[in-house]
Amino acid sequence: MRESWAIFRLLSALMLLLGVFHTPWGVARTAQALPQLPRHDQVASPEWKTRRAAFAQLIGLRPEAYAQGGVTYMPDLLRPLLAKDRDNSEARKLALIELLEIENKTVEREQQLSEAYVNYYGDVIAAVATVADPRSIDALVGAVSTGNMATGTLISFGNAAVEPVGKKLDSPDPLVRSSVARTLSQMLEKSQEISGTPASRAVIKRALVQAAKDNDPIVRRSAVDGLVTLGDAESIAIVDQLARNDPYQADFPGKEGKFLVREAAANALKRHER
């Protein structure tokens, strides 16, 4: 019986090591292990909460932990993960980019989005911005109206992003066209690579000239800074025309009767003169 007892203790210890019982070691092991990468059908699921769960796994969190807590600062989470889990970093990056493309379409399609969804969308943009992979250019262009997380990353890609951003000027949404014009203008101001490359400047000029003739005043207004930054005679003449003749008068609170495009063009020209 004593031998049986010894065998029993030995086998019990073996079972503990195997994690058959949930010992403190088993729990610790579970806590430290990265969640499995999601399957592709989860990433491409029609249910946004399934996609959110997949996103959580892609950034190394348990889905319920992400749903209940979110992420305060994405780079602090994602950069160490990609460095640590090198074997899967490529798969993670590509899945995150695909996820952003899916969410861009969701935002375009849905009538109303909850705060939970919109914050998740912001986190997907933050994750793709953190990855900073040039393969994400098209996905980030799809989020061009969401602010500087997306557009700042696009600008950081330099010349590679100029053409894809410029193409988005064909969007039927004036807010997107306006955001494109602003992003192209900022590219000239913030990227030496872009502002120093004649081919990129030509693409931007072509786009901003088109934007300055847009039917929507907010698009025309967004084009003037970039045209002034280009600084050539033709661009300045276009801004000068807008400052003198643009017909749009605002009719909303705080702006009633103001010629917003004229004002923006005049202010841009003043900056140019200084």
User: How buried is residue 134: exposed, middle or buried, by Cβ count under 10 Å (0-12/13-18/19+)?
Assistant: exposed
Residue 27 vs 34, nearer CB to other proteins: 27
Residue 46 vs 198, nearer CB to other proteins: 46
CB of residue 11 to other proteins, shortest distance in Å: 5
With CA atoms as reference, report the closest residue to 124 among 232, 189, 43, 178. Answer: 43
Query: CA 69 to CA 258: how far, in whole Å?
Result: 45
CB of residue 182 to other proteins, shortest distance in Å: 5
Query: CA 87 to CA 64: how far, in whole Å?
Result: 25
What residue ranges bind other proteins (CB under 8 A)? Answer: 4, 7-8, 11-12, 14-15, 18-24, 27, 67-73, 107, 110-116, 118-123, 125-126, 145-149, 151, 174-175, 178-179, 182, 217-218, 221-222, 250-255, 260
Residue 86 vs 109, nearer CB to other proteins: 109
Token code pair at residue 78: 């994602």
Query: CA 204 to CA 161: how far, in whole Å?
Result: 11
CB 25 within 8 A of CB 16: yes
CB of residue 103 to other proteins, shortest distance in Å: 11
With CA atoms as reference, report the closest residue to 140 among 103, 112, 109. Answer: 103
Residue 258 vs 272, nearer CB to other proteins: 258
CB of residue 14 to other proteins, shortest distance in Å: 5
Residue 50 vs 197, nearer CB to other proteins: 50
CB of residue 150 to other proteins, shortest distance in Å: 9
